Structure 1
Amino acid sequence: MDIKPFLHEHYLLFDKYKDQKACCDHCNQRIVGWAFTCETCKFWLHESCAKQQLPGQIPHPLHSQHLLTLHVARSFYICDRCLSLTQGCIYSCKKCNLNLDLICASLTTPYKTPQEASERSHHRHKTIQYFSHSHRLSLFNYRKVRKDEYSCRWCEKLLSGMPYGCLRYPCSSRESIDNNFEHGSTSSLVDREVTIGKVTGQKGTEIDYFDHEHPLRFYEVIRKNESFLCKACTLEIYDQAYVCKYGCKYYLHKACTKLSHELLHPLHPQHSLKLITSRFQFTCDECRQWFDGFCYRCYACDFKLDVKCATLSVPENESQRLKEMETRSKLCPFNQHHKLNFFIYGSTLRFYPECHFCDQQLQGPSYECIYCEYKLHESCLEFPLEMQLHFHPLHSLRLIPFARKTCLVCKYLIYRKIRYSCLQCDLHVHPYCAKSQKRTVKSKSHMHNLYYFGPNAGSGFYRDKKTCDECKERFSRTPFYFCMECGIMLHIKCTVPHSVKSKYHIHPLTLKDYFKEDDSGEYYCDICEEERDPQHHSYYCAKCEAPFVAHIDCGLNSVEENAEAEEPSTNLASDFDHT
């Protein structure tokens, strides 16, 4: 039996890939779905091809009592020999909970020296309890295992060296934090008596805290509850904390009760920063996160830091940080003299404003023009400044801010600050309604085009308790097809067939209300190869392991002429060719 399983001389990344031009170096077929790659050599292997080249079981000198079995892991593991983060092909003994990556599995000796064996034994299975996470965090040697790198959850720098992370599903190492956090070296600005992550205290101890009217009582453990957020740093509380004695929803990590009332910070050396505990939303001038916890502020310069950034040491390369921030700056598309402010809406805010383009809540990277008074998702900033719609072929519609107008499509007021307009014809359309004009189907039973509106359609469509024109059932915030000329709305199931046979795929395609094949953030139609919204209905192949997904209109427009028909569910659905 081969005891040296081998795929490639370098460690291979393992991830899910889409629209790759590369081909597998084993079978010479195109790479789609889960695959291995070497970024150095541009070497590629399908998951199935990799498994074919490896023995199913091997003996190993590090674990002589049992054979090790090949296992393809899509979650993260720690190799028990080198302590490195591992994903993809591993050899494991489930009885003994031992896992080896391919490199260590191919070695014929347990360790090079007794000193190495002692060091590995000391670090193996070492864990800490982090104050804002429910699971214990494991120590590991970080290396890149997917196409994307991971960042420290606290300092937001790319991981390196020996960090701690949660490897329990579904956290899957997304909660990684830097190893320095355990050493207590994250800040010289917090009172020295506090070492975050190693706090001590007796259950039942009470303190009077200046920001709250009632005494705060110390608790060793708080049951898991997403509503338990620290008032200071807004992170979740799972372990040691102070809670209002009389039941107010006021929680503080023990470390956050020791924050300095005033400090000098290297990012703003000219003045001291004062701790502000009054609730207001602000943008941190270091990380650009939109924040509503405690704030360190210089009133003279209006310089603000959130608690997390204030208690971290200054970045090693401040000029590099400023350069990176500069690359995120953009100009207002409506006035090139206005510079947009970049900020990030985190996941712990009590209130999220809405994007002035798509009307959805602002979360993640966003931009604001303080002069034109609008806020946008970073993704919405890529909107086309002009759009040609088929119902108005004379002129293009330009994107224009300000002024309240009535939307030609949905007939409701455009109360947001951005719209598509033809000023010559006094014609105005919501951005979402304009975008919906791109996804059109035509039924033989209806003389006009039907336009798809997804789950984020404007609330105006649902105000009058409208019913489906086909089945007469009432709508309840579900996607629908809309006729602009007649004003009728139709359920998706009442409009298009449940399955179709496209000439671009060997299997029938099934209608699905939501399809997100991975976490890449980029999703495309496999027929027209244009971008696809994963929250919208689509046709997909339920038989293929590598998903084939298409827009509804693309699926319907590519139906084979001789396809056999299934029994349709509605009258309108029978108007389309389907299987």
Structure 2
Amino acid sequence: MMMSSTLEHFSHPEHPLRLKEDVVIGENAKCHVCNKSVIGYPTYTCTSLDDIDCRNLYLHKTCAELPATINHHTHDEHPLTLLLRPVNYICSVCDLDVRFAYACDTCNFDLCIRCVELPTKVTHHKHESHLLAFLPCSDCCDVCYRNVRFAYVCDNCEFNVCVSCAFEQRVLRHDGHEKHILTLMPREALFKCDACGEEAKDSSYVCTTCDFWIHKSCAISPLIIPDPTHHHHPLELVYSIPDMHRYFIRRCNICKQTIQKYYWVYYCHKCTYFVHVKCAGLYLKTPYVDYDIIRTDDTGDEPDLIQFPLSGEESLFDLIVTQCGKLQGEFQGEGDDPHIIEAHWSHKSHPLEQLQFTLSLNDDDNDAADDDKKGLICDGCIQPITVSHPSYYACIPCGFFLHSFCATKLPKELSTGASPFHPEHSLVLRKSDSFCSLVACGACRYSTNGFFYLCETCDIKVDIRCAFLPNKIKHELHKHHSLVQRHFYKSECSLSRMNQRYDNHQVPLRPPPFFYEGVFYCEICEKQVNNQWWLYHCGKCDHSFHFNCLRPYENVKVGGTIEYNISNRPHKLALVLKGSADKDSPHSLCCRCGTVYTFEYFLECDGCGFRVCVECAKDMDSVDHQHRTPVK
């Protein structure tokens, strides 16, 4: 590949450009200036190989070497200077969006690159008797009836035709309909377009062979929108939703309405971002307004409201501690915590010893021990025990742990009115008899085997996290008003951030749309994840999770074991979460009831593979002993 020269160009001051005479470039490569294909033309490219944003920068040699200033008959008052324009600038001659223009800022005049070379006289099939001269015009076009500032004019007959209509293609070959040519029908008609799917009155291009009928405005839609006002990457016109993105219903990221998979759409492959053709057209000339930014923040007079999303699981435990202190009722413990609790109400079989959570500074010698400690989960709140709240109680033989706060400071009873979720009655602190007996929270509907508060009158159970949620919060996705806790029976508990139990990274909740190139899959169910729905994604390890796959299983502590006799032989069954995208998988089958599950908690024997679902485990009578797996 021969390099003949380099060039400094004002549109890309970061790096010099190199001319490639024998260019071999991707088939969709477009010139940065004129937005036409560079295939087969001498082309300048960026010399930087490291900057990703520069890899798709192409300039035709002719476009890169355009003169810096010109004099033009459309604006003979001043010279015109070649400038790179921001969005929402239009050409003063053709009224189309302009990126590079010869401009006079003094007179607010812009002339696009195309219009610089317009001929001064043309003929037109609508007015064949005279030549038409290119002149300023204060009337409308006699073809499309738009008001124009310049037109091809016949003064004798008072006939005007705008630049667009003067050079419109009577016959069109379009990539959106490769089978046949399209013929222009200049007379406007009301019809449903086969490109955008909208019914509107417009001129049209039709295929007389197969009845394909599209708006003229759709036919001349740009193949690429280089600087859309509503997205941070160029958008490419594609003629149907790509096959890999048809697993879900797709919605326009501007109007939020459904995009039919066989209609044309603007698409960013880097972000899996879609926009209707008509919506993209509106925003070519209309500035995009982020109303969330200009709304007034009405929460300013409530500075004490807690801001959601929380920063992590430690913040969630901090919230429990803070809110617990605000609720009515006396704390269970007073003064210093005892070193030994002989018979805690939640674990009466063995004493609990108070310990301090620490991490070793010698990583080489103690990695395995530290990994075990990082996995310490409180059996009360089902939150991790960390250095932020280092004091905890432990029964090492049973693998049973409690934050010191959960062991001694949680109120045994919440008085009437103390819980925003269930203010009608008092709530008493409880725990299931067995770690494999899961309780469904009445607030978030998710299961837990940790502590919960019980209304004995209504038999309503509320887990620790939901019991101490504040009545009113602030949220970054709804900044202009506070959010008040209300009963809504189709809702789901959605505290926003969590650490996935088998990863050291925080997994933040991502609101839609989440921009991601290509398709991606849930680490739990192995099914495709929709970037236009709420999801969890860890940017460090590139792991993604369906919202409903990750949330329900983070309030249950796994790993506890029981001994169970099968055919008079003892088996140790551990509480595990089993999941499979395929319901025919043997991992999703309960060996007792025969039910298959996509995801479920099982008691499983690691030796022989025998497993029973937690529903069947409730009826198992042959339990000789139950305990927690000891910490290594």
**Fold in common (TM above 0.5):** no
> Greater Rg, structure 1 or structure 2?
2
Structure with greater strand share of residues:
2
TM-score by length of 2: 0.27
TM-score by length of 1: 0.29
Greater relative contact order (Cα < 8 A, sep 6+) = 2
